[in-house]
Amino acid sequence: MHHPLRLLLAGAVDYAGLFPPAGLDMPAAMRNYADYLKSTDRWALGRFVVPAARLGELENAAAGLLPQNPSPDPWRLAVLLASGSREELESLGEFNCRHAAEGAPAVSGDVVELKADSVDSIERVMAALPRYFTAYIEIPIHRDPADLIAAIGRSGARAKVRTGGVTPDAFPAPRDLVRFLRTCAGAGVPCKATAGLHHPLRASYRLTYEPDSATGTMYGFLNVFLAAAWLRAGMSDADAERLLEEQSAESLRVSDWGIEWRGHRLDADALRHAHADGMVSFGSCSFTEPVSELRALGLTP
C-alpha cells in the first residue's frame, strides 16, 4: 500500500528555481533539477518550470544534464507562455520537435501555463492552443471566479491559482481560496497552485531569502492540498477555511488507512482521486525545503 502522503503529493512539486525568491540562473537551476531526479525524494518532484522565452537558454545549458535521446524518462517541462501568441506556440512546437526527432524525447514541454482574466480571453487562447498541450490558466480569485472556471472546464483546460508571493499582500484571503477550490471541485476542473507554498503548514515565515526580509503568514502546501481533497469529499467552507489556517502538525494523523484531521477522514481512494483530478501540483522555487520540512515533521513516506 502506498503511503497516504505519497498518494496526495506524488510528483506535486513543480521546481521553479528560476523564479523569486530563489532566482537562480539557468545552469544552476538545471543542475539542481538533475540532482533531485536522482534523489530518494524524487517521488515528490514534478516538472521543471521555464518561461517560453528561455527555452533556447535551457537548450544551451542542457549539455550533459538531459537523459540520452531516446529516453523512457524525459525531463518534463511546464512552459510559461506570456500571451499564447502564434509565435510562442510555434517556438514551443519546434522545440518539442527537435527533441523528439530521434524517437522518445529527452525533454518534453507538453504542459503550458498562462494568465487570463476573462471568459473571452480564455476561449481565445484555448482555441489557438494545440490539443496535445495540457494548459493551466491562472485566474484572479478576489471576485467569484465561477464564470472563469466554467470556461476553463468547457475548453478542457485546468485552473491555476496564485497562493502567495514576496509581499504580504500577494496572499489571498482564506475565503477566496476556499471559493476557488470549491468551484474547481464542483466543476470537475483540476488545478494547481503557485507561489508562497514552500512549507508544509501555515505559519509566519520570511518572504524572501534576504537577511532583512519581511515576514508574512504563508499557506502550507499540506493545508491547500488537504483542503482541496476534503472539499471534494463534502467538507463545509467554514471547516475548509479552518483547515487552511491550521498550524499544528499534531492535528494531522497519518496512518496506513489514510489521513485524519480533527474528526475528518480521507481514505486512500479519496486521496488518490483528489490528487489526480483535484489539486495536482504547486510551483516552488525550492524543492529541498518542502521535502525536508515534511521529513522534519515525521510525515514523509
Would you say residue 221 lies in a domain?
Answer: yes
Domain ranges, residue 261: 4-296
**The pLDDT value given to residue 102:** 59
* pLDDT in the model for residue 69: 64
In a domain, 246, yes or no: yes
Question: Which ranges constitute the DSSP H helices of the chain?
Answer: 4-9, 26-37, 55-61, 86-99, 119-128, 146-155, 174-187, 221-232, 237-244, 268-277, 288-296
Q: Is 147 helix (H, G, I), strand (E, B) or coil?
A: helix
Query: What pLDDT is recorded for position 214?
Result: 87
Residue 229: inside a domain: yes
Predicted local confidence at residue 104, as pLDDT: 63
Nearest to 297 by CA among 232, 240, 252: 252
Name residues whose C-beta falls within 8 Å of residue 137's C-beta, 6 or more positions apart in sequence: 113, 114, 115, 116, 122, 125, 148, 152, 157, 158, 159, 160
Q: What is the pLDDT of residue 103?
A: 61
265 found inside a domain: yes
Residue 67: pLDDT over 90 = no
Q: C-alpha cell of 118?
A: 476573462
Q: Average pLDDT of 30-50?
A: 96
What are the two backbone dihedrals, phi and then psi, of residue 227, each rounded to the nearest 5 degrees? Answer: -60, -45
Looking at residue 24, the DSSP 8-state letter turns out to be -
Distance, C-alpha 152 to centroid of its chain: 17
Q: Which three cell numbers stand for residue 78?
A: 511546464
DSSP assignment string, 61-78: H-TTTSPPSS-SS-EEEE
Render pLDDT for 68-121 as a digit per residue (tens, 0 to 9).
Answer: 766 677 899 999 999 989 999 999 999 998 887 656 678 899 999 999 999 999
Mean pLDDT score of the chain: 93
Note whether residue 301 is domain-resident.
no
Could you tell me the CATH number of the domain that includes residue 256? Answer: 3.20.20
Mean pLDDT, rounded, for 243-251: 96
Confidence of residue 284 (pLDDT cuts 50, 70, 90): very high
Assign 45 to helix, strand or coil: strand
| Distance in angstroms (rounded) separating the CA atoms of residues 223 and 293 | 14
pLDDT at 1 over 60: no
Q: What is the pLDDT of residues 141-167, one digit of tens each?
A: 999 999 999 999 999 999 999 999 989
pLDDT per residue over 167-187, tens digit each?
989 999 999 999 999 999 999
The mean pLDDT value for 62-71 works out to 77
Q: How many domains does the chain have?
A: 1
Residue 284 inside a domain? The answer is: yes
Q: What are phi and psi of 267, to 5 degrees?
A: -90, 180
Report the predicted TM-score, pTM, of the whole model to 2 decimal places: 0.95
Distance CA 171, CA 196 (A): 8
Query: Distance (Å, rounded) from C-alpha 2 to C-alpha 258?
Result: 10
250 within some domain: yes
Backbone angles phi, psi at 258, to 5 degrees: 160, -140
